[in-house]
A and B are shown apart, each in its own frame.
Chain A
Amino acid sequence: MKLVYSVSSLALAAVLAACGAPESGSGDSADVGAAANSVVETASTDYAATRNAYFGDLHIHTRNSFDAYIFSVRRTADDAYRFAKGETVPHPSGFDMTIAGGPLDFYAVTDHAEYLGILPAMNTPGTALNDLPRAKDMFSTDPVKITAAFQGVGASVRSGVKIEEIYDQPLMNSVWLENIDAAERHNEPGVFTTFSAYEFTSVTTNSENGTFGGGNLHRNVFFRDAAPLRAFSTLDSPNPEDLWDWMDEQRDEGFEAIAIPHNSNVSNGQMFKLETYDGAPLSADYADQRMRNEPLVEVTQVKGTSETHPDLSPNDEWADFEIYTRLLGAYDVSETNGSYVREAYGEGLKLNEEQGFNPFKFGLVAASDSHVVGGAYAENDYWSKVGIVDGLPFNRGSVPVDPEKSWEDQPVTQQTRNATEWFSRWSASGLTGVWAEENTRDAIFDAFRRKETFATTGPRMKVRFFASYDFEDGLETDADLASKAYANGVSMGGDLIGDGRTPSFLVWAMQDPNAAALQRAQVVKVTSSGEQVFDVDCHSGAPDPETHRCADNGSGVDLSTCTPTGDGAAELKTLWTDPTFDAGQEAAYYVRVLENPTCRWSTWEALKAGTPPRPDVSQTLQERAYTSPIWYVPGE
């Protein structure tokens, strides 16, 4: 039996991403009221004054996201929470998804607020939306009509100009309330924490050169507990500063929230640009409002890492890691400057020195941005992001389109180009770690607020980071290390105020017992005048005091089986002093921990398929964790 398909690939390029463009709308928040859905919190059994590490994903889409629905995703918020709690959920491409590494501690569904739940309604017989010609086109059998109808919705999300006939606010509000209800149903203090949340899907336009691509300014908005009855979207205004105004109003009404920007790496220099959205100079008020509403930034997810870029950090040998630069739904390359976290830390310190405010004093988190309700966090069990579009290995370019063929004679089609430019560069990532007393909304949200968070590229390694002037030698072996570190020091996310003395930093990392061992722990120091990466503790012993680099620990990977070779450290722990410390200069210090090398997802998939690995991507990688910084602030 031989089935032969002779169908030309069709361009879905332009409709792949949720996009928006600046065009002022009205932020009518008058109809916002209280949705008091909070459950009674009970005392949990896991309370620890020295805090536990909890892991979660704060960025998940379901069928109610307009793009996910077109990717054939039909799973709901309930399915998403069940997945996070360890249940198996089907992927739209027809296989089972089970979370790697066991259940998560917290999870949040963040459907796009724009046209929330509208596409499912347009595809439901008996609704008014289903009777629209636009709906007939969207769910017709004519590829041209489908693409045009869907692009129309994408363009509206980008421009912020509503398509009135499908802008069914009562329906969107009711779907928002369904998502709130799902979060409430699954929130179980002490066991599993959920948040009511959504994505604000802002994208700048690049209309002057006529391309589809624009700078990604997406944010996820999380409510501490109760949430308002509607979500502020780009159809209210695509300007993130208007979102902050709305969040400030909500806060006054008792709806505490934070927003987490993501994919600054493909923001085309817009996420951390040194002016406001409309091009005005930054100000202390801008910085205050930004930090009040956006104390955290997502540093790694499926669409690449945003820590730094090799062009920005030429002396950081680990900077070229899961770099992804294509603008949403386009092949255009994002502007590097203004798009990465480490550079923003430096620019923020410079602003503070020159003008007395810092809009970039944020902590770090990570997420998957999965559009199939469940994140793919493990390299050896990957399903990427956008449903049936990249659901199978050949879709995403980890195996040749026809496995009989080699990588040399691949057909040039829309699909293989998308796999080359986009999907093969995407990552199995990431998770947020928080240090909190217990697994409850209050404790975890408080940890977000104090930025006591760290980001991992998937594994659940744990990292503690403290700074103090009063850490004594030998503290690192003290039985009461954690409580003494808290009592006498500042933890990640905090400020250490200068008093003329030289501080010491406690860097403490522990491997994920179900993943690879650790190779090295590093401190990244950022000031207004530059950056430096110090290896501070190594599996191979103490780092070289001159080069601040670890000796090679001999770890590697047997690529014929993807088996790691060599040993690594279960734990790295040191009291470190900055050899370049200048008591008069403000600095941000954060920790980066590297695992031993392991196979990248694309290598695993080629191995399983019995094909050679894709030649133009790295075959191995070093999974890593990044902590929120500690800022050293010179005293008066």
Chain B
Amino acid sequence: MKRLIHEPLVHFIALAIAIFGLYQLVSSQRHDADRTIVVTQADMERLASLYAVEAGALPTAQDMRAIVSDQIQQEALAREAERLGMAEDDTVVQRRLAQKMTFMLSDLEQIAPPSDQVLEDWLDQNRSRFEEPLRLSFDHVFFSSDRDERIDLAIGKLASDTETDWRAQGDPFMLQRRYARLPQREIVRLFGSAFATSLAALEPDQDGAWQGPLVSALGTHLVRINTRDRQRLPALEEIRPSVLQDWREHEQRRQTSDAIAAIVDKYEIVIEGTEDN
């Protein structure tokens, strides 16, 4: 042994082994301590008991998945912040570091002003949020029974005599006989969806004329559509500020969550007691 120590080759090999070992050691430390997030059974029990304190109930499996996923995200962000030298390891500090890191990410990602094309596309892809709904202004004559013989009489009168007092026809209606510019969802709220659908299906070329009977959850109605504001998607120029605001909020959220995901991706995640899923 003593002799070997004096052999240059052995020196070299020993040095190589030492270096390699050191590298192994460093890299395994990095692997185990720096780039691996281990969620132990003890961790999970602690998280579950914390949840139970707040909730007065044990977490479900679904809750547990959310809790663990939050924990991993927090841990990854905290470690990233630590790597940047922001603070030592401590639960409260970690939580704050993760928060800070999140703020920093949202802050760092300066959002470039979008081109008109981007906004046009955004408007087009999110039509439902920007669309102006169909709005109908209409009068109705109400019959509480669908077998009322006055229904046919009223149809005849209203069609033949424009002087007929339509408000005196039918049964009293508890709410209004004339509605102005009601959006579809409001018609659903007041009359139910069946009536709203049949009203919206009436042909525009019959506007101004009495039509029906239409049936609702409340009874039977003769209707006259006075005006209609068609469902339309406003042009970008009409609503640019709200489209821009909407796009910005979404873009901000997307960039922040992408940045968080990128950081989490740098870590290998091991959750004890679970198989891959």
Which positions in A face B, CB cutoff 8 Å? 1, 3, 5-13, 16, 45-46, 48, 50, 52-53, 70-72, 86, 93-94, 101-103, 125, 136, 140-141, 143, 146-147, 388-392, 394-395, 414-415, 418, 460, 462, 464, 476-482, 508, 510-511, 513-514, 517, 570-571
A388–B55 CB distance below 8 A: yes
Of the listed residues A6, A10, A16, A460, the one surrounded by the most CB atoms of chain B closer than 10 A to its CB is A10
Task: Kindly list chain B residues whose C-beta atoms are within 8 Å of the C-beta of A143.
Answer: 49-50, 52-53
Which positions in B face A, CB cutoff 8 Å? 44-46, 48-64, 66, 91-92, 96, 99, 144, 167-172, 174-176, 180-181, 185-186, 188-193, 195, 216-219, 273-275, 277
Report Cα–Cα, A522/B143, bound state, in Å.
Answer: 23
B171–A477 CB distance below 8 A: yes
The one of B56, B62, B216 in contact with A10, judged by C-beta atoms closer than 8 angstroms, is: B56
A414–B56 CB distance below 8 A: yes
Task: Kindly list chain A residues whose C-beta atoms are within 8 Å of the C-beta of B188.
Answer: 102, 514
Report Cα–Cα, A53/B92, bound state, in Å.
Answer: 51
Number of A-B contacts (CB under 8 A): 145
Q: Which residue of A lies closest to B181 (CB)?
A: A45
Task: Kindly list chain A residues whose C-beta atoms are within 8 Å of the C-beta of B62.
Answer: 94
Dominant secondary structure at the A interface: loop
Decide: A102 near B45, CB < 8 A? Known: A395-B55, A479-B168.
no
The one of B51, B54, B170, B191 in contact with A479, judged by C-beta atoms closer than 8 angstroms, is: B170
Task: Kindly list chain A residues whose C-beta atoms are within 8 Å of the C-beta of B96.
Answer: 125
Q: List 24 A-B contacts (CB under 8 A).
A: A1-B277, A3-B64, A5-B44, A8-B52, A9-B52, A9-B57, A11-B56, A12-B55, A94-B66, A125-B96, A140-B92, A141-B46, A388-B51, A392-B63, A394-B60, A462-B174, A476-B172, A477-B171, A479-B169, A481-B172, A510-B174, A513-B217, A514-B193, A570-B219
| Closest Cβ–Cβ distance, residue B137 to chain A (whole Å) | 9
Task: Kindly list chain A residues whose C-beta atoms are within 8 Å of the C-beta of B91.
Answer: 141
Task: Kindly list chain B residues whose C-beta atoms are within 8 Å of the C-beta of A136.
Answer: 92
Report Cα–Cα, A464/B173, bound state, in Å.
Answer: 12
B56–A418 CB distance below 8 A: yes
The one of A46, A102, A141, A571 in contact with B50, judged by C-beta atoms closer than 8 angstroms, is: A141
Task: Kindly list chain B residues whose C-beta atoms are within 8 Å of the C-beta of A477.
Answer: 171-172
| Closest Cβ–Cβ distance, residue A294 to chain B (whole Å) | 29
A125–B44 CB distance below 8 A: no
A7–B60 CB distance below 8 A: no
| Closest Cβ–Cβ distance, residue B199 to chain A (whole Å) | 13
| Closest Cβ–Cβ distance, residue A383 to chain B (whole Å) | 14
Report Cα–Cα, A510/B191, bound state, in Å.
Answer: 11
Report Cα–Cα, A110/B79, bound state, in Å.
Answer: 40
Known contacts A53-B174, A460-B189, then 9 further A-B pairs from the complex at CB < 8 Å, ordered by chain A residue:
A3-B61, A10-B52, A12-B53, A101-B189, A143-B49, A147-B53, A389-B57, A480-B172, A513-B191
Report Cα–Cα, A10/B217, bound state, in Å.
Answer: 49
Report Cα–Cα, A5/B53, bound state, in Å.
Answer: 14
A1–B275 CB distance below 8 A: yes
A5–B56 CB distance below 8 A: no
B185–A103 CB distance below 8 A: yes
Task: Kindly list chain A residues whose C-beta atoms are within 8 Å of the C-beta of B170.
Answer: 479
| Closest Cβ–Cβ distance, residue A452 to chain B (whole Å) | 14
Task: Kindly list chain B residues whose C-beta atoms are within 8 Å of the C-beta of A414.
Answer: 56
The one of A7, A125, A508, A513 in contact with B218, judged by C-beta atoms closer than 8 angstroms, is: A513
Report Cα–Cα, A387/B8, bound state, in Å.
Answer: 72
Decide: A52 near B45, CB < 8 A? Known: A125-B99, A479-B169, A511-B218.
no
Report Cα–Cα, A446/B37, bound state, in Å.
Answer: 61
Q: Which residue of B lies closest to A570 (CB)?
A: B218
B174–A16 CB distance below 8 A: no
B45–A5 CB distance below 8 A: yes
B176–A10 CB distance below 8 A: no
B174–A86 CB distance below 8 A: no
Q: Which residue of A lies closest to B59 (CB)?
A: A5
| Closest Cβ–Cβ distance, residue B129 to chain A (whole Å) | 10
Report Cα–Cα, A12/B49, bound state, in Å.
Answer: 12
Report Cα–Cα, A3/B58, bound state, in Å.
Answer: 13
Q: Which residue of B lies closest to A123 (CB)?
A: B95
Q: Which residue of A lies closest to B218 (CB)?
A: A570
Task: Kindly list chain A residues whose C-beta atoms are within 8 Å of the C-beta of B169.
Answer: 479
B175–A462 CB distance below 8 A: yes
Q: Which residue of B lies closest to A126 (CB)?
A: B96
A389–B45 CB distance below 8 A: no
Decide: A3 near B274, CB < 8 A? Known: A462-B175, A513-B191.
yes
B191–A571 CB distance below 8 A: no
B172–A5 CB distance below 8 A: no
| Closest Cβ–Cβ distance, residue A8 to chain B (whole Å) | 8
Decide: A479 near B167, CB < 8 A? Known: A1-B275, A7-B52, A125-B99.
yes
B195–A415 CB distance below 8 A: no
| Closest Cβ–Cβ distance, residue B162 to chain A (whole Å) | 18
The one of B64, B193, B195, B219 in contact with A571, judged by C-beta atoms closer than 8 angstroms, is: B219
The one of A7, A46, A517 in contact with B58, judged by C-beta atoms closer than 8 angstroms, is: A7
Report Cα–Cα, A388/B273, bound state, in Å.
Answer: 26
